[in-house]
A and B are shown apart, each in its own frame.
Chain A
Amino acid sequence: GENVEQHPSTLSVQEGDSAVIKCTYSDSASNYFPWYKQELGKGPQLIIDIRSNVGEKKDQRIAVTLNKTAKHFSLHITETQPEDSAVYFCAAPSGGSYIPTFGRGTSLIVHP
């Protein structure tokens, strides 16, 4: 079954606003949490990841936070720009496997 849930499925923001996408997972043994960005006609691209020994990681305008107790992690994009428009996927191991299951994706639309 699907043990990685991602919300929201679509997110529409104005340029300059912040965007937050959240994923929950069920396998408490999970210790690696990547986020991917997929632009139209391309494959997913790793944009940021976090390991279970830290609670937050930043890279310029994007950040990921992890709450292992609650089993959720979030992607934060600040000062959004039109080129941030894409589908974003989270991933986390599930079902006792070390291979990550991908969330269903969030379509982010940034309006100029």
Chain B
Amino acid sequence: DAGVIQSPRHEVTEMGQEVTLRCKPISGHNSLFWYRQTMMRGLELLIYFNNNVPIDDSGMPEDRFSAKMPNASFSTLKIQPSEPRDSAVYFCASSLDWSNYGYTFGSGTRLTVV
């Protein structure tokens, strides 16, 4: 298995632009998580899905952020409009189940909003 695949690896965009981050989880994993990592706040859970259904999006910072999982093999995190404070590394992770199992993380997308 190729692991969790994220794209793009790096994204530089101007403030106000729309940004879409993509994730392909490990086949057979039922849960998918989106995290944001910054020096100030560490690893923050933004949203997670179980069997393609969003379960908890309380970590999504604002309405500018949205996430979808149209099928078991694909998820997107969208920021519209983007702001400089959104600059961070965004990780997608998948797991067999949403509790009691370890996560497999992707390599992340480093987002820079200028």
Contacts and interface: CB of A to CB of B under 8 A. Distances in A.
Interface of A: 31-32, 34, 36, 41-46, 49, 51, 89, 93, 97-99, 101-105
B11 to A, nearest CB: 15
Interface of B: 4, 42-43, 45, 48, 56, 91, 93, 98-108
B43 A102 contact: yes
Contact of B105 (A32, A45, A105): A45
Given A46-B104, A99-B56, A104 B99 contact: no
B53 to A, nearest CB: 15
Given A102-B43, A104-B42, A105-B42, A43 B108 contact: yes
A32 B97 CA distance: 13
Contacts of B98: 98-99
Nearest to B44: A102
Contacts of B105: 36, 43-45
A46 B99 contact: no
Contact of A46 (B56, B100, B102, B107): B102
A46 B94 CA distance: 12
Contacts of A101: 45
Nearest to A104: B42
Contacts of A32: 99-101
Contacts of A99: 45, 48, 56, 98-99
A26 B100 CA distance: 17
A99 B112 CA distance: 28
Q: With a 10 A CB-CB cut-off, give which of A46, A51, A98 has the most chain B CB atoms.
A: A46
A104 B98 CA distance: 21
B67 to A, nearest CB: 15
